[in-house]
Amino acid sequence: MSRTGFVTILCACLGLSSACSMQEFGFERDEREIEFEHDGQDYIDSTRQKYEVNSGGTLTVDAKFGAIRIRSSINDEVDVLVRKRFRATDADQVRKAFSNIEVVIEQTYNGVRIEVDQIRYPTYTKWFWQEDWPDRVYVEINVIVPEEYNLDLITISGDIQTGNIAGNVTAETLTGEISTGPTEGDLSIKSNSGNIETSRVVGRLHTTTLTGNIKIGPVDGDATVDSNSGRIETGTVEEDLQAKTLTGNIKIGPVDGEATVGSNSGSIETGTVVGNLHAKTLTGNIETGPVFGDATVSSNSGRIETGAVAMDLHAKTLTGNIETGPVDGDATVSSATGRIKTGTVEGDLHARTSTGKIEIGPVDGDANVSTTSGMVEASNVLGVFETRSLSGDIRLGPTSGDIVASSTSGDIEGELIVTDPSVEARYDMQTLSGDITIQMPVDIPSVIDAQITIGEIIDPWLPNWWHVQRRIKSDFDLNFSRIESSPGNYAIKAIGETNGGGNRIKLVSTAGNIRIRSKDDE
């Protein structure tokens, strides 16, 4: 039957009495079965076609608009059903709407191709309260394919859904959402403003959306996930993962390869990463699970918390706090104004902050720690320990390596131990206006040099209560002396050896007190 004859029948159907709740007509045209239905005010034009195909082919859908739904079956055939749905009461509008939507279904050398296009676009001017009839046409593209089949799907304004597919899948939509079932092949998905959700993928995964959220299930290959302002959540990734969003949060599951994760203003949370981890955000927090490779983590103003790191750790934030788990390699940690707390570090440690407190756990290597106005607390440093603070106190627990500690106006406290008597350590502590207190074993071999550069200030023209007296107190026998450094100012020195000499201990305070205590090992 010709297209003109079909239009004539269509117009006649639309003119029937509304007492009929359903009007249905069917006829053959180019070996395609076409059904026309009228249910209330909804008019449906259905086009269906089946093709015998071989597994491993490709279904290609190129639609200007319309929802795409793909299912699979054990049959070696492609079953296509395309429905146009339009709600109207005017027969002329229905005729124009359906005739303007062109559906082409054809079998190609490697599969089946479906095209849905709009033949012409309205050029007339309408008022703002009026609707264009093409905007009210809804198109559904339902296809059943063999389980082993490839999919290449594109639509502008519709959703895309796929079922269980053993083949490569490419799906793209501008404003719709995309969801996929289990896929045994590479999966590539793109949506401008819709959400994306995938089931298990046995292959490589690549997903992109501008403003939508992304949630992916387990991936047995590499995974690349990208969103501008949406949230990202992933399951297990067997190989490498790259995840990036501008303003959304990121939460990733275990990664058996390397993980590169970035967000401008969102938070980042990671599970176990077997390879190296790179995580960066501007204003969000970062929380990581165990990392069996190197970990590089940075945030401008967010908090950072890391789990155990099997190799080296680099953690940096401007205004946030940092807390790390055990690190089997070297650790470099810095914050401009935040607090820093580290676990055990098997290698060397470098920690920096301006106004925050620094608290470090055991360090098997060297430690270099500095803060401007915060306090420093450390213990069990086996290597060389260098620490500086301008106005904060420094408190050192049992430390067996060299110590170089300095503070401008803060106090310094330290506990010295010796694990290897054959190695002489160096202990150098200096402060301007703070006090120095150390505690050391009674049997430690040492050479002590303690001095207060301004020990006493005596002015005969001032009352006695104005006089300032600073002291050096020691539980060990030392030689004390008072030296006039300038008229009315006296420096105090205390020098001596314990247990035959050995470890060099130098304590200098400009205007504070010095206390040397003995510790009985019993």
Closest CA to 143 of 245, 218, 72: 72
Domain, as residue range, for 131: 3-144
Residues of the chain with pLDDT under 70: 1-41, 88-89, 91, 120-136, 419-422, 455-468, 488, 521-522
Residue 302 · residue 338 · CB < 8 Å: no
Q: How far apart are CA 47 and CA 32, in angstroms?
A: 7
Q: Is residue 205 part of a domain?
A: no
Q: Is residue 290 part of a domain?
A: no
pLDDT, residue 119, reads: 76
Residue 115 · residue 24 · CB < 8 Å: no
**H or E element that contains 184:** none
Q: How far apart are CA 410 and CA 432, in angstroms?
A: 8
pTM of the model: 0.82
Single out the residue in 87, 116, 144 at which a domain terminates.
Answer: 144
Query: Domains in the chain: how many in total?
Result: 2
pLDDT, residue 461, reads: 59
Q: Is residue 225 part of a domain?
A: no
Single out the residue in 94, 128, 144 at which a domain terminates.
Answer: 144
pLDDT tens, position by position, 129-148: 334 444 567 899 999 999 99
pLDDT, residue 469, reads: 77
What does pLDDT average to over the chain?
85
In whole angstroms, how far apart are CA 83 and each of 57, 60, 103, 274? 24, 17, 10, 49
Residue tagged 């996930």 (tokens): 225
Residue 258 · residue 279 · CB < 8 Å: no
Q: Is residue 192 part of a domain?
A: no
> How many CA atoms, within 13 angstroms, populate the side-chain half-sphere of residue 497?
5
Q: Is residue 466 part of a domain?
A: yes
Q: Is residue 239 part of a domain?
A: no
pLDDT, residue 424, reads: 80
Q: Is residue 493 part of a domain?
A: yes
Q: What whole-number percentage of the chain has pLDDT above 70? A: 84
Single out the residue in 92, 114, 144 at which a domain terminates.
Answer: 144
Q: Strands 295-299 and 313-317, how do they pair? A: parallel
pLDDT, residue 86, reads: 82
> Virtual CA dihedral for 454, 459, 465, 466, nearest 10 degrees?
-70
Q: Is residue 47 part of a domain?
A: yes
| DSSP assigned state of 291 | B
pLDDT tens, position by position, 425-457: 889 999 988 999 999 988 888 999 999 988 666
